[in-house]
């Protein structure tokens, strides 16, 4: 596959990263007030009343990006809508073929994991030419699995608005904005409930990739250093990852789908059980690192975590289970009584204790 090496590098980073120091952000998506025209401008009442997200931050969560970015979301019975506005003095793009590696240009990206188990999630990218790349990812790159690059979002609508001039270095631009509509019929394919998630939440994140550039005879391209190597890109995201890797879905933000209309007020707090899952991912990483160091799996949880695990005044008691197909770590939530299990491949399972 054309980005096979990239997947290997990302997977290495994923296994050795620390959990994000900043908690995930949350956003409330409201219902539309009117019909949305996908033109990149967001001039409808729905968009004017929709809350504006916090400005994007550097992917590691500790630096303010050079250029401002924010997003909005609304939904109706047919589509989930996205809008993002990106300040940019030089708006350029060169890639025109669908499903090419769009982040080799400056781009905007959407990541969606409907059931929050970090498996079977969707990625969407687009550049200032409105060239798109959509793919379905069976597992994060840290675990071997197929990546369905040929998967397309049926019924997708997308548009770009440019305040400035595209691919013209003779002037300074203001911003570019994108508007995207993804049909629920496509999104429900990876949702175990197979419905519109009204009064539910999904794990979602957004990324903006920005490159330093060179100009050759008026043509933009990614900037190289004196040795001819591309300079690293900037990764600006809505919810910080704590590591330069978007493919750790457990760090993504929370989008709650309100039953109220845009302009009304609703509330959402990240449930305590989500924090139990965050703890399981810490143990998952520690166990992977234990194997990397010792060339064998641990036989008990105390070998990978020898201190009590506290969460909001409660003590969690995870158990490591070794079986013929691998291992898993299970814990019962002191908040709801539900049991959460993280498998060897990082997938989260949920069950009720009778």
Structure confidence at residue 146 as a pLDDT band (50, 70, 90): confident
Half-sphere CA count of 222, side-chain side, radius 13 A: 18
pLDDT classification of 189: cutoffs 50, 70, 90? confident
Q: State pLDDT tens for residues 52-67.
A: 999 999 999 989 999 9
- Which of 138, 63, 273, 108 has the alpha carbon at shortest distance from 205? 108
Does the pLDDT of residue 10 top 60, yes or no? no
Q: Quick one: pLDDT at residue 193?
A: 73
For residue 83, the surrounding DSSP H or E stretch is: strand 79-87
Mean pLDDT of all residues in 238-259: 97
Q: How far apart are CA 319 and CA 316, in angstroms?
A: 10
pLDDT surpassing 70 at residue 7: no
**pLDDT at position 9 over 80:** no
For residue range 74-109, what is the model confidence (pLDDT) as tens digits? 999 999 999 999 999 999 999 999 999 999 999 999
Tell the residue number behind the tokens 């990614």, with chain if given: 222
Encode pLDDT of 212-224 as tens digits.
999 998 899 999 9
Identify the pLDDT of residue 316: 95
Helix (H, G, I), strand (E, B) or coil at 12: helix
φ/ψ of residue 206, rounded to 5: -135, 145
pLDDT category of residue 151 using cuts at 50, 70 and 90: very high
| Boundaries of every domain in the chain | 4-261, 272-352
pLDDT for 62 equals 87
> Under a CB-based contact definition with an 8 Å cutoff, are residues 68 and 113 in contact?
no
Residue 159 has pLDDT above 80, yes or no: yes
Mean per-residue pLDDT of the chain? 92
Dihedral through CA 60, CA 65, CA 69, CA 75, nearest 10?
Answer: 10
3 state SS of 203? strand
Higher-confidence residue of 28 and 2: namely 28
Domain 4-261 bears CATH identifier 1.10.101.10: no
């Amino acid at each position: 596959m054309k980005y096979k090496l990239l997947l290997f590098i990302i997977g290495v980073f994923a296994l050795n990263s620390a959990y994000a120091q900043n908690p995930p952000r949350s956003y409330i998506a409201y219902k539309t007030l009117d019909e949305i025209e996908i033109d990149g401008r967001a001039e409808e009442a729905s968009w004017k009343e929709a809350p504006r997200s916090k400005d994007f931050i550097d992917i590691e969560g500790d630096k303010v990006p050079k250029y401002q970015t924010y997003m909005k979301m609304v939904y109706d019975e047919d589509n989930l809508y996205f809008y993002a506005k990106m300040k940019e003095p030089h708006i350029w793009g060169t890639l025109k073929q669908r499903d090419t590696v769009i982040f080799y240009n400056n781009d905007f990206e959407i990541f969606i994991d409907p059931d929050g188990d970090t498996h079977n999630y969707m990625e969407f990218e687009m550049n200032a030419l409105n060239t798109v790349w959509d793919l379905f990812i069976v597992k994060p790159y840290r675990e071997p699995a197929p990546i369905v690059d040929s998967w397309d979002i049926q019924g997708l609508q997308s548009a770009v608005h440019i305040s400035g001039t595209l691919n013209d270095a003779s002037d300074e631009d203001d911003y570019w904005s994108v508007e995207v509509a993804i049909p629920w019929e496509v999104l429900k394919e990876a949702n175990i409930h197979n419905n519109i998630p009204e009064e539910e939440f999904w794990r979602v994140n957004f990324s903006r990739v920005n490159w330093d550039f060179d100009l050759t005879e008026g043509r933009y391209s990614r900037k190289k250093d004196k040795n001819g190597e591309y300079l690293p890109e900037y990764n600006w995201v809505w919810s910080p990852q704590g590591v330069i890797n978007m493919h750790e879905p457990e760090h993504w933000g929370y989008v709650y789908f309100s039953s109220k209309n845009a302009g009304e007020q609703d509330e959402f707090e990240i449930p305590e059980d989500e924090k139990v899952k965050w703890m399981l991912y810490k143990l998952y990483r520690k166990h992977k690192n234990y194997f990397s160091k010792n060339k064998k799996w641990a036989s008990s949880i105390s070998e990978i975590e020898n201190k009590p695990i506290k969460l909001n005044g409660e003590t969690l008691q995870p158990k490591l289970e070794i079986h013929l197909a691998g291992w898993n770590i299970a814990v019962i939530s002191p908040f709801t009584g539900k049991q959460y299990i993280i498998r060897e491949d990082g997938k989260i399972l949920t069950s009720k204790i009778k």
